[in-house]
Amino acid sequence: MRQESIDEPVAVRADFQGGVVTPVAFRLRGREHRVVRVNARWVDRVPRHPHFYFSVTAESGDVYQLQLQGTDLVWWLDSVTLEG
Amino acid sequence: MAPQTGAGGEPTVLHVDIDAFFASIEQQRDPRLKGRPVVVGAGVIASCSYEARRFGLKAGMPLSEARRLCPQAVVIEGRAQVYRCFAEQIFARCREVSPAVETYLDEAYCDLGGTERLHGDLVEAARRLKRSILAATGLTVTCGLGPNRMLAKLIGKTVKPDGLARITAAGADDFMRDLPVEKVPGVGHAHARTLRSMNLRTAGDLRLLPVVALERLFGAPGRLLHERCRGRDTAVVSGREVPLSISRETSFHRDTADPREIEGMLEYLTGRACRTARELGVRPRTVAVRLRYADGESDERARTLPQPSDADPVVLALALDILGRLFTRRVALHHVGLVLSRFVRAGGEQGALFDEREAGRRAALYRAFDGVRSEFGHGVLVSGRALHLKGRLAEDEHGFVLRTPSLTK
């Protein structure tokens, strides 16, 4: 397993239903990656505004960590974990 | 104060233990890790999955040995911040079922005394809690219900992972009698060796010794052992955790002998440890510095403060003095740590009469620092020697990103 830091703002299509946000797809460097599974979600409430984290599996099978910052509602792509 | 008693007249404590905590979170975050041996830690194992445990891996084992025993293990350095978020989610659910919850890194004690009318069957309430934690986090926990903290934890250990068990006061005697001595809380390797050399192998055997004999063998803890081997534990579940010690330690990204880097790191760790002490409302009497050299040798020294204090400069002055006396070998350092212990409640100690105004001003200053840091992250205020770390270490909203974040308390 190899984790690579990306740390870039990304455009994300997300579902906001019943007070729960679920990322559906994100666009990285011009290419759309569809989310096939949300593996885990957690909230960090230590910063001034909460940060919402999502570990998602994309169609490629790679696992990405997305972050929605409560301050400005900007999505960030933190990292990708690759097999091998 | 005795633990609260329930409607049935029996106090009930629920112990909640998160199964293979860090490793389970990593398997949750990346489903490709499920079913594979996963190890979390840097230098030593902080947590490992049940698949890894089948190869003999366990917490505290050096990673080099872990790799030898299980070459296919996936090793992850770990992120303390992520694990803390998951733990908080779990503890929030514990607080929904109990008015008094005492939390540690990966476990919680919930006082359920007096909640029978609210919950009905407490075993069913524990089962509901397990389901709610699983739904919210995807993690399994093991629950033990008992008449006191010790029995709740011990009975839970018999059904790990993902288990639920209850022991009543009536069943405690039988349960404890056959328990091996090393499983009795408070019996470490040295005590177990002494007891086994006397052919005392179970808690039942231990009951043969009168309290004076146990006190002569082990000092004050001997009295506790006398109670514990009978299944008695009078410690109450306290909503506020007062730890025996607060330690903040880390390995350097590269072994170093640069005094500015070492002192800078020690100042940074002191700031974090003192902030935790202030948040808990406690002041340490004793400050210890731990060093591990690049050649594997380690050293530790502790000293007592003239007055208990949670002020960074007071603790730092003593820590630097200890460091100066301790760091004498001409070998680079691999790891440095600071440990605060022997706490008194803030305000509960005697201070010098004329220092009070100064102490008040200092307390106000640190309240302001802590307020800023909890709003914007610890790293926004960095002082003195710790400024040398700026640019050398990456930062996030929690401060510098250390190589070995405090995965354990």
Residues B70-93 as b/e (b if ≥16 CB within 10 A, e otherwise) read beebbbbebbbbbbbbbbebbbeb
Nearest CA in chain B to A1: B74
Chain region(s) in chain B for CATH 3.40.1170.60 = 21-79
DSSP states along B225-257? HHHHTTT---PPP-SS---SEEEEEEEEEEEE-
Cβ within 8 Å, pair A53-B85: yes
> Is the Cβ of B394 closer than 8 Å to some Cβ of chain A?
no
Chain region(s) in chain B for CATH 3.30.1490.100 = 245-400
Nearest CA in chain A to B74: A1
pLDDT at A43: 93
Note whether B286 and B344 are within 8 A (CB). no
pLDDT at B137: 94
Provide the pairing of β-strand B395-396 with B399-400.
Answer: antiparallel
Residues of B (328-387) whose Cβ lies below 8 Å from A:
374-377
Boundaries of every domain in chain A: 2-82
- Domain at B21-79, CATH class: alpha beta
* Chain A interface, best mutation among B18, B22, B26, B30, by max A CB count within 10 A: B30
Cβ within 8 Å, pair A46-B138: no
Instruction: Tell me which residue in B31, B138, B375 faces A57 most closely, judged by beta carbons.
Output: B31
> If we measure between CA atoms, which residue out of B28, B105, B132, B76 comes closest to residue A42?
B28
Out of B26, B51, B102, B107, which one is annotated catalytic?
B107
Taking any CB pair shorter than 8 Å as contact, residues of chain A touching chain B are 1, 37, 39-40, 42-48, 51, 53, 55, 57, 61, 63, 65, 81, 83
pLDDT at B281: 83
Nearest CA in chain A to B36: A1
Instruction: For residue A47, list chain B residues with Cβ-Cβ distance below 8 A.
Output: 376-377, 397
Nearest CA in chain A to B377: A47
B107 is catalytic: yes
pLDDT digits (tens, 9 = 90+) for B240-275: 556 778 888 888 878 899 988 899 899 989 988 998
Instruction: For residue B26, list chain A residues with Cβ-Cβ distance below 8 A.
Output: none
CATH 1.10.3720.10 for the B245-400 domain, yes or no:
no
Instruction: Tell me which residue in A1, A46, A63 faces B74 most closely, judged by beta carbons.
Output: A1
B245 burial type by CB count under 10 A (0-12 exposed, 13-18 middle, 19+ buried)? middle
- H/E stretch holding B366: helix B356-376
Note whether B38 and B162 are within 8 A (CB). no
> Is the Cβ of B88 closer than 8 Å to some Cβ of chain A?
yes
* Distance, CA of B384 to CA of B392 (rounded, Å): 15
* Distance, CA of A18 to CA of B399 (rounded, Å): 34
Q: In the beta sheet, which residues pair with residue B293? A: B333
pLDDT digits (tens, 9 = 90+) for A5-35: 899 999 999 999 988 899 999 999 899 999 9
Spans in chain B with pLDDT lower than 70: 1-9, 238-242, 347-359, 375-377, 379, 386, 388, 390-409
Note whether B131 and B43 are within 8 A (CB). no
pLDDT at B160: 93
Tokens of B163: 């288990």
* Distance, CA of A11 to CA of A66 (rounded, Å): 11
> Is the Cβ of B134 closer than 8 Å to some Cβ of chain A?
no
B354 burial type by CB count under 10 A (0-12 exposed, 13-18 middle, 19+ buried)? exposed
ipTM over 0.90: yes
**pTM, two decimal places:** 0.72
Nearest CA in chain A to B73: A1
Cβ within 8 Å, pair B76-A53: no
**Domain B173-228 homologous superfamily, CATH:** 5' to 3' exonuclease, C-terminal subdomain (1.10.150.20)
Instruction: For residue B397, list chain A residues with Cβ-Cβ distance below 8 A.
Output: 44, 46-47, 51
pLDDT at B242: 65
> Is the Cβ of B300 closer than 8 Å to some Cβ of chain A?
no
> Is the Cβ of B178 closer than 8 Å to some Cβ of chain A?
no
